[in-house]
Every structure is written in structure tokens, then in C-alpha cells.
């Protein structure tokens, strides 16, 4: 009793698909490493352009007099220097600058970086939200260079807060930026308003530029980069770009555009839709720059007009990529959470509508996240145990038929076509499906992959410790290596080792029960995949390697129980004998296979006959 050839093929196919998925899942990093020269050249060009723009700005801003109004491009201001005012709730603290009337540093109160500091987003001088306006004296300027006057922060009974930044010139042209932060929320509402918009703007729409920098937040910056995407909702459909592939994307009719790091988002949202959007980004030249990517996203925003007044309603989300948190805003931001991509995109439905509710229920009742993963894995393995049972039952049937298969192999050893036909007839007469071991193994792939994406993307695992792992969202590190080993890395993950050992134990046990191990490829193939896991898993989150350790252990236990105590060999032999008494009904598929084999056999016989005549 054991794993038949088709069962082994099934698990080999699983291994191949998993390895392909691991490859495509990390292609962002591979593309990044392969394009270093292009990125460096691109950065050099950007810096050159930035220096040129800065030089022009200095010339344009050079005053002809000491008039304060001229220094502010002709707009009134109560201050000659930038000042900061804040909006704050229990989740986020946002600092606003009166220069540009725009948000600056945002502190996420519930989250820490890998080195214990507060997670800060939109910080640094590169981050900017701006657009160009016409100023008095036939000039133009970026609104980010203009000083605004802010009103006192308004606090409402529902816990929301708002602030308005305003500036105007002597002719009555006025610009205002209103921001509203709700209680217990990461979403910032923003409304840009113009009085006399046709004079302030050179176009019928607002051309908005959003510059954003993604800082290092997680410990493994390389892995964090592979999880960093540019995401957007275009014409109602979500899509994303790997940051290591290309450097720009043109969009139309876009609801929102944003940058996703491993567990955090920075997103600009239109209340209507952006007519056009141009996403562009570049990567740092080296790790000393302390950021993952920098983005320059431009938007064509439609104006909502009322006579001579025009508004541009927007929102900004700076916060965690928490599926439940994002979904409550009802604009599709939850699509950012990568619960399934590529050929495994369908597993996101398993994660969203089954695994996530189960996970939330268990974690609300169990304090330790490692135990939560253990319980979920146990539940899943019990649910899929009938599939496992059918796989092993097929193996048991194949083992009963092995002496007869061996006899056929000896009889037709020089005629593989005839052997294949007779083997099919034998299986059919005994009521055994040749795919009985393969298909059950393949049916486990969706569960396999849904758990892979789920544990990799769930922010609730971030910062949670278990046993020797300090953070289940990062790899566990029991020892550092002073150099990097190709395909392995510069550290030792103990959970990876336990996952590999349990995989090897399954392979050893399966091979000991395999009825046909004469084929060298089939003999050694089951051992190859566990060894490959050592390199593939070493940099993956500890939640994943702990899950695979638990899953493998449960699988091994179930395999032993099913094969030793549940499957009845005498009953199987009796059933096969009974099946042989029944008339054989061939399926259409089997008829086509046998017809094909018969045709090939006749063709081979004809070739042999012609060869003998020659």
C-alpha cells in the first residue's frame, strides 16, 4: 500500500507549479537586480532635470523688491515662513504645512518599523502634492511654493476634525484646501477649491502632481521590494505593476492610483474619476538612499464647476493594507491586498470569503498567533483529508494490481504500445482509475496556494512573535552568516529547516511504500522538491514556514493513520474481484485513448513489416 506512479506525478506537478509561482512572485526583485544600470542612468537624468528646474525656480523667485506679496507670488499671507499644524485621531497624526497648504509627515500610531520607530509616511522633502497656477504679473508658480493662511482646526461632535488653508490675491482670485479627518480612520478627505478658476488655471482641468517616497519599514528590504507594487483601479478593474519592471504606466478613467509596500499603502483617490493618470517611478541606486521607490504620479482632475467657482474633491489613504480596513471605504482599495495573483488569482476568493473570516474568528478567541496558524492548518488538513484518503486508496489499489502489471511489463517489454493498452484494460476491469492518485493531489493546489498568499499578505501577523520567531511576517533568524550563500542567503531560518525536514520525512515514507521505484527519475524526484524548499523558503515569512511545518506534520500523521488503520486491503481485493465480474463499460475518453493506442500499434506494426521486407 502506498503512493502509485500517478500520485507521485501529481505531487511532482504540485512542486513544479509551486516553484513556478515562487519564480513569478519574486520577478519584481529579479527585474530590479537586472536593471541596475538603466535605473542609475534614469536617476542621473532625473537629478539633472531637478537641478535645472531648481535653478529656474531660483531665478523666477528672485525678488525685484522687498514686497512680501511679491515673495509669495502675489498672494496674501500672514506669515513669511512655513509653519505646521496637525490633525489627529487615535490611528494617525498628520502634520500640514502652510507652504503649499498640503499634508506632510503622517505617523501611524499602531505600527512600528523593523527597528522600533514609529511608521512615518509621506515624510521627507521629496513628498509633494502640487499643481501649477497663474499668478499676478503674468507669471506662474507651483502651489507647493506658495504660503497659505490656515484657519483654526474645527472639531465636530462625531470626532472628526477639519482644517482649511486659504490664499488670495488683490483681485479676488482665491485658492483653498480643505482637509477632513474622521475619527478612527486613516482616510483623509481633501477638497481643492478655486474662485475665478479660469484665471487661476490655464486649462479646463486641474493638472495635479503627486510625488511620494516609500521608506524602508520592514527588516528584509529586498523582500519588501518584491512586495511593492504600483496599483490602480482603471475603468472599474484593478491591476498593478511590479516596480522592478518598467518605470511608467499611462491610465485613463482611473478611480485611484497608489503605492503598496509590503503592508502599507499610499493612495490618491478621486471622488469621481481622473480623466488621465501617468504613473512613473524609479528605484534607488543603492540601499544607502533609505527608500524603496520614489514615484511621480500626474493626474488630470475634472473640475466640479458652479459658476465661477470650481472644486476638485479628492481623498488620500495612508495606512495599513488591512483587507477589512480597506473594504469599509467601498472604493475597491481592498484589491490591493494580494490574496492571489497570476495563474493563482482565483484563490483570492477562497482567502476573502473563507480563510479570512475563519482567521478573524480564531484570532479573536486565541491570543497566540502561532497557535492560530496551527488551528487553521489543522482545520484545512481535516477538510482536505477525504482527498488525501482517495489518493492513498488509489495507491493501495495499484499495489494490489502490481504483480499483474509486472507480468504485463515482462510480456510486452519490447512493445510499449501493447503494454499501455493491456494495462488500461487491466485497470478498467478492476475498476481502478489511472488518475486516481494524480487528480486528488492536484485538487489540493488551490488550498496550498491560498494559504501561501494569505499568510504572506495578512498584516495581523506583522509584529506577532511565536517561539523563537520575533515577527511572523518576517523570516525567523536563529543565526547570521557572515557571507551570502547563493540560493540560500546570509541567515539560518529554523522554521525553514523544520519545513524541509518534515517534507523529507513525507518523501521517505512515501517512497518506502511506493510499489514501483525502478524508474530512477521517479525514485529521486520526490527528494528534490524538499531540498529546493531550503533555498526558496529561507527568506519567506515565518508564518509561512511554520504553516508548512504544521501542514507536513499533519499530512504525515494522516498518511500513516489512513494507510495503516483505515484502508482495508482484504476489502480492496474483494472489491477488485467483484468489479472484474461486472461487464466493462468504457468511457468515451477511454475509447478515444484505446483507439489512439490501437492506431499507433497498427502504424508501428506496419513500419516493422516494411523494415523486415527491406
pLDDT digits (tens, 9 = 90+) for 217-242: 998 888 888 889 999 999 999 999 98
**Is 580 a residue whose pLDDT tops 80?**
no
Q: Tell me the three state secondary structure of residue 120.
A: strand
Confidence at 584, pLDDT banded by 50, 70, 90:
low
Q: What is the pLDDT of residue 68?
A: 44
Q: What is the pLDDT of residue 578?
A: 67
Instruction: Specify if 365 maps to a domain.
Output: yes
Confidence at 589, pLDDT banded by 50, 70, 90:
low
pLDDT: which is higher, 33 or 554: 554
Instruction: Specify if 371 maps to a domain.
Output: yes
Instruction: Specify if 369 maps to a domain.
Output: yes
Q: Which sign does the torsion angle of CA 103, 104, 108, 111 carry?
A: positive
324 and 366 in a single domain? The answer is no
Measured CA distances, 474 to 60, 88, 263, 287, 531 (Å): 49, 30, 12, 19, 21
Q: What is the pLDDT of residue 437?
A: 60
122 and 223 in a single domain? The answer is yes
Calpha distance 290→113 (Å, rounded): 13
277 and 353 in a single domain? The answer is no
Q: What is the pLDDT of residue 341?
A: 84
pLDDT: which is higher, 58 or 467: 467
- Domain CATH for 316: 2.70.98.90
80 and 101 in a single domain? The answer is yes
299 and 395 in a single domain? The answer is no
Are 335 and 231 contacting, i.e. CB atoms less than 8 angstroms apart? yes
**Is 50 a residue whose pLDDT tops 90?**
no
Calpha distance 502→556 (Å, rounded): 8
Burial of 495 (0-12, 13-18, 19+ CB in 10 A): buried
User: Residue 113 half-sphere exposure, CB side, CA atoms within 13 Å?
Assistant: 15
Enclosing domain of residue 318? 35-337
Q: Where is the domain boundary, 312, 337, 362? A: 337
Calpha distance 512→60 (Å, rounded): 81
Calpha distance 136→173 (Å, rounded): 10
293 and 371 in a single domain? The answer is no
363 and 454 in a single domain? The answer is yes
Instruction: Specify if 590 maps to a domain.
Output: no
369 and 324 in a single domain? The answer is no
pTM: 0.77
User: For residue 147, which of 71, 72, 58 has the smallest C-alpha distance?
Assistant: 72
Q: Tell me the three state secondary structure of residue 85.
A: strand
**Is 564 a residue whose pLDDT tops 50?**
yes
Calpha distance 189→162 (Å, rounded): 9
Q: What is the pLDDT of residue 67?
A: 45
Q: What is the pLDDT of residue 416?
A: 72
Confidence at 58, pLDDT banded by 50, 70, 90:
very low
**Is 52 a residue whose pLDDT tops 50?**
no
Question: Which range (175-184, 393-402, 436-445, 463-472) has the least confidence?
Answer: 436-445
Residue range 314-318: average pLDDT? 96
Q: What is the pLDDT of residue 46?
A: 46
101 and 153 in a single domain? The answer is yes
Instruction: Specify if 192 maps to a domain.
Output: yes
Measured CA distances, 395 to 93, 441, 568, 573 (Å): 61, 12, 13, 13
Measured CA distances, 36 to 40, 290, 438 (Å): 6, 16, 43
**Is 519 a residue whose pLDDT tops 70?**
no
Residue range 503-517: average pLDDT? 72
Residue range 298-304: average pLDDT? 94
49 and 12 in a single domain? The answer is no
Above pLDDT 90, what percent of the chain? 40
Instruction: Give the Cβ contact number of residue 325 at 10 Å.
Output: 20
Instruction: Specify if 592 maps to a domain.
Output: no
Above pLDDT 70, what percent of the chain? 76
pLDDT digits (tens, 9 = 90+) for 343-380: 888 999 999 999 999 999 999 998 899 999 999 999 98
How large is the greatest C-alpha to C-alpha distance in the chain, in angstroms? 110
Residue range 241-264: average pLDDT? 89
209 and 108 in a single domain? The answer is yes
415 and 488 in a single domain? The answer is yes
Query: CB neighbours of 468 closer than 8 A, spacing ≥ 6?
Result: 476, 478, 494
Instruction: Specify if 377 maps to a domain.
Output: yes
Q: What is the pLDDT of residue 404?
A: 75
The total number of structural domains in the chain stands at 2
Instruction: Specify if 600 maps to a domain.
Output: no
Instruction: Give the Cβ contact number of residue 348 at 10 Å.
Output: 19
Q: Where is the domain boundary, 282, 309, 337? A: 337
Amino acid at each position: 500500500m502506498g503512493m502509485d506512479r500517478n500520485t507521485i506525478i501529481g505531487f511532482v506537478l504540485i512542486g513544479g507549479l509551486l516553484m513556478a509561482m515562487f519564480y513569478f512572485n519574486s520577478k519584481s526583485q529579479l527585474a530590479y537586480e537586472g536593471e541596475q544600470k538603466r535605473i542609475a542612468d534614469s536617476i542621473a537624468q532625473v537629478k539633472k532635470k531637478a537641478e535645472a528646474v531648481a535653478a529656474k525656480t531660483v531665478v523666477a523667485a528672485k525678488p525685484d523688491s522687498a514686497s512680501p506679496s511679491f515673495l509669495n507670488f502675489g498672494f496674501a499671507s500672514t506669515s513669511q515662513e512655513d509653519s505646521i499644524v496637525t490633525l489627529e485621531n487615535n490611528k494617525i497624526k498628520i502634520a500640514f504645512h502652510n507652504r503649499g497648504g498640503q499634508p506632510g509627515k503622517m505617523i501611524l500610531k499602531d505600527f512600528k518599523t523593523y527597528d522600533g520607530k514609529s511608521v512615518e509616511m509621506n515624510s521627507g522633502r521629496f513628498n509633494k502634492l502640487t499643481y501649477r497656477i497663474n499668478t499676478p504679473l503674468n507669471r506662474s508658480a507651483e502651489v507647493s511654493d506658495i504660503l497659505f493662511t490656515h484657519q483654526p482646526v474645527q472639531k465636530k461632535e462625531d470626532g472628526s476634525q477639519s482644517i482649511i488653508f486659504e490664499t488670495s490675491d488683490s483681485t479676488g482670485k482665491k485658492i483653498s484646501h480643505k482637509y477632513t479627518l474622521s475619527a478612527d480612520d486613516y482616510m483623509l478627505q481633501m477638497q481643492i477649491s478655486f474662485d475665478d478658476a479660469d484665471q487661476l488655471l490655464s486649462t479646463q482641468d486641474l493638472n495635479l502632481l503627486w510625488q511620494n517616497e516609500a521608506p524602508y519599514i520592514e527588516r528584509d528590504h529586498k523582500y519588501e521590494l518584491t512586495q511593492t507594487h504600483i496599483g490602480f483601479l482603471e475603468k472599474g478593474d484593478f491591476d498593478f505593476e511590479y516596480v522592478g519592471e518598467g518605470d511608467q504606466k499611462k491610465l485613463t478613467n482611473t478611480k485611484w492610483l497608489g503605492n503598496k509596500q509590503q503592508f502599507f499603502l499610499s493612495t490618491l483617490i478621486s471622488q469621481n474619476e481622473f480623466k488621465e493618470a501617468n504613473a512613473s517611478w524609479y528605484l534607488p541606486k543603492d540601499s544607502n538612499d533609505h527608500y524603496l521607490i520614489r514615484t511621480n504620479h500626474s493626474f488630470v482632475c475634472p473640475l466640479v464647476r458652479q459658476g465661477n467657482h470650481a472644486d476638485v474633491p479628492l481623498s488620500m489613504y495612508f495606512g495599513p493594507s488591512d483587507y477589512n480596513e480597506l473594504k469599509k471605504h467601498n472604493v475597491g482599495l481592498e484589491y490591493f491586498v494580494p490574496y492571489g495573483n497570476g495563474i493563482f488569482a482565483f484563490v483570492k476568493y477562497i482567502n476573502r470569503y473563507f480563510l479570512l473570516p475563519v482567521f478573524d474568528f480564531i484570532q479573536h478567541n486565541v491570543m497566540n498567533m502561532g497557535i492560530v496558524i496551527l488551528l487553521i492548518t489543522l482545520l484545512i488538513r481535516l477538510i482536505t483529508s477525504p482527498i488525501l484518503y482517495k489518493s492513498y486508496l488509489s495507491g493501495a489499489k495499484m499495489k494490489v494490481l502490481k504483480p499483474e502489471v509486472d507480468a504485463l511489463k515482462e510480456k510486452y517489454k519490447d512493445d510499449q504500445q501493447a503494454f499501455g493498452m493491456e494495462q488500461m484494460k487491466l485497470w478498467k476491469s478492476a475498476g481502478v482509475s489511472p488518475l486516481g492518485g494524480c487528480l486528488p493531489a492536484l485538487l489540493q493546489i488551490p488550498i496550498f496556494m491560498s494559504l501561501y498568499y494569505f499568510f504572506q499578505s495578512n498584516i495581523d501577523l506583522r509584529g506577532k512573535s511565536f517561539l523563537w520567531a520575533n515577527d511572523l511576517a518576517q523570516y525567523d533568524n536563529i543565526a547570521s552568516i557572515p557571507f551570502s550563500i547563493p540560493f540560500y542567503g546570509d541567515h539560518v531560518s529554523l522554521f525553514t529547516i523544520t519545513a524541509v525536514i518534515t517534507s523529507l520525512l513525507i518523501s521517505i515514507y512515501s517512497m518506502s511504500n511506493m510499489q514501483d521505484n525502478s524508474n530512477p527519475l521517479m525514485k529521486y524526484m520526490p527528494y528534490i522538491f524538499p531540498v529546493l524548499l531550503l533555498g526558496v523558503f529561507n527568506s519567506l515569512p515565518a508564518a509561512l514556514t511554520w504553516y508548512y511545518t504544521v501542514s507536513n506534520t499533519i499530512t504525515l500523521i494522516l498518511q500513516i493513520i489512513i494507510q495503516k488503520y483505515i484502508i482495508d486491503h482484504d476489502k480492496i481485493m474483494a472489491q477488485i474481484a467483484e468489479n472484474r465480474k461486472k461487464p466493462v463499460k468504457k468511457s468515451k475518453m477511454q475509447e478515444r485513448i484505446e483507439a489512439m493506442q490501437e492506431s499507433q500499434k497498427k502504424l508501428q506494426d506496419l513500419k516493422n513489416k516494411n523494415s523486415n521486407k527491406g
